[in-house]
Copies of this chain bind each other. A is one copy, B any other.
Amino acid sequence: MSAVVTEAPETTTQPGLREGAFGNATSLSCRECGHLVALGPFYACPECFGPLEITYEFPQVTREEIEAGPRNIWRYKALLPVPTDIETSPNTEPGFTRLLEAKNLAAELGIAKLWVKDDSTNPTNSFKDRVVACALSAARELGATTFACPSTGNLANAVAAAGARAGIKTVVFIPSNLETPKQVNSAIFTENLVAVDGNYDDVNKLASEIAGEEEGWAFVNVNVRPYYAEGSKTLGYEIAEQLGWRLPDQVVIPVASGSQLTKVDKAFQELIKLGLVEDKAYRIFGAQATGCGPVATAYKAGTDAIRPVKPDTIAKSLAIGNPADGIYVLDIARRTGGSVEEVTDDEIREGIVLLARTEGIFTETAGGTTTAVTKKLVETGQLDPSLETVIINTGHGLKTLDSISGQVGPAATIAPSYDAFKATGL
Task: Verify A414–B71 contact, CB threshold 8 A.
Answer: no
In the complex where A408-B184, A411-B193 touch, is A356 in contact with B164 (Cβ < 8 A)? yes
Task: Verify B165–A360 contact, CB threshold 8 A.
Answer: yes
* CB proximity of A177 to chain B, nearest CB, Å: 10
Return chain B residues, CB-CB under 8 Å to A196.
413-416
Q: Give the complex CA separation of A125 and B123 in angstroms.
A: 10
**Interface presence of A396 (CB below 8 A):** yes
Among the stretches A76-84, A97-105, A307-315, the one at the interface with B is A97-105
**Interface presence of A122 (CB below 8 A):** yes
**Interface presence of A301 (CB below 8 A):** no
Return chain B residues, CB-CB under 8 Å to A104.
90, 164-165, 167
Question: A413's contact among B71, B197, B404, by CB below 8 Å, is which?
Answer: B197
**Interface presence of A206 (CB below 8 A):** yes
* Residue of A123, A352, A415 with most chain B CB atoms under a 10 A cut-off: A123
Q: Give the complex CA separation of A396 and B171 in angstroms.
A: 23
Q: Give the complex CA separation of A30 and B413 in angstroms.
A: 38
* Residue of A98, A180, A192 with most chain B CB atoms under a 10 A cut-off: A98
In the complex where A195-B410, A405-B184, A416-B202 touch, is A164 in contact with B123 (Cβ < 8 A)? no
Q: Kindly supply a per-residue 1/0 record for chain A positions 89-126, scoring 1 wherever the CB is within 8 Å of any chain B CB and 0 otherwise.
A: 01011001010100110000000000000100111110
Task: Verify B171–A362 contact, CB threshold 8 A.
Answer: no
Within residues 337 to 361 of chain A, which ones have a CB less than 8 A from any CB in chain B? 352-353, 356-361
* CB proximity of A99 to chain B, nearest CB, Å: 10
* CB proximity of A220 to chain B, nearest CB, Å: 15
Q: Which residues of A contact B (CB under 8 A)?
A: 71-72, 90, 92-93, 96, 98, 100, 103-104, 118, 121-125, 160-165, 167, 171, 174, 176, 180-181, 183-185, 187-198, 202-203, 205-206, 209-210, 213, 352-353, 356-362, 396-399, 401, 404-405, 408-418, 421, 424, 426
Q: Give the complex CA separation of A135 and B229 in angstroms.
A: 41
Task: Verify B123–A181 contact, CB threshold 8 A.
Answer: no
* CB proximity of A86 to chain B, nearest CB, Å: 15
Question: A194's contact among B92, B188, B360, B411, by CB below 8 Å, is which?
Answer: B411
Return chain B residues, CB-CB under 8 Å to A357.
164, 188-191
Task: Verify B360–A183 contact, CB threshold 8 A.
Answer: no
Task: Verify A397–B188 contact, CB threshold 8 A.
Answer: yes
In the complex, the 5 A-B pairs of residues with the closest C-beta atoms, listed nearest first: A161-B360, A165-B360, A187-B408, A198-B416, A195-B410
Task: Verify A421–B356 contact, CB threshold 8 A.
Answer: no
Question: A409's contact among B90, B183, B360, by CB below 8 Å, is which?
Answer: B183
* CB proximity of A199 to chain B, nearest CB, Å: 9
Return chain B residues, CB-CB under 8 Å to A209.
418
* CB proximity of A116 to chain B, nearest CB, Å: 11
Question: A164's contact among B165, B359, B401, by CB below 8 Å, is which?
Answer: B359
Show 26 A/B contacts (Cβ-Cβ < 8 Å), sorted by A: A71-B98, A121-B123, A124-B360, A124-B362, A125-B396, A160-B360, A161-B360, A161-B362, A164-B356, A164-B360, A171-B426, A183-B410, A184-B409, A185-B362, A187-B409, A188-B353, A188-B397, A188-B404, A188-B408, A190-B357, A192-B411, A193-B409, A196-B416, A197-B415, A198-B415, A205-B416
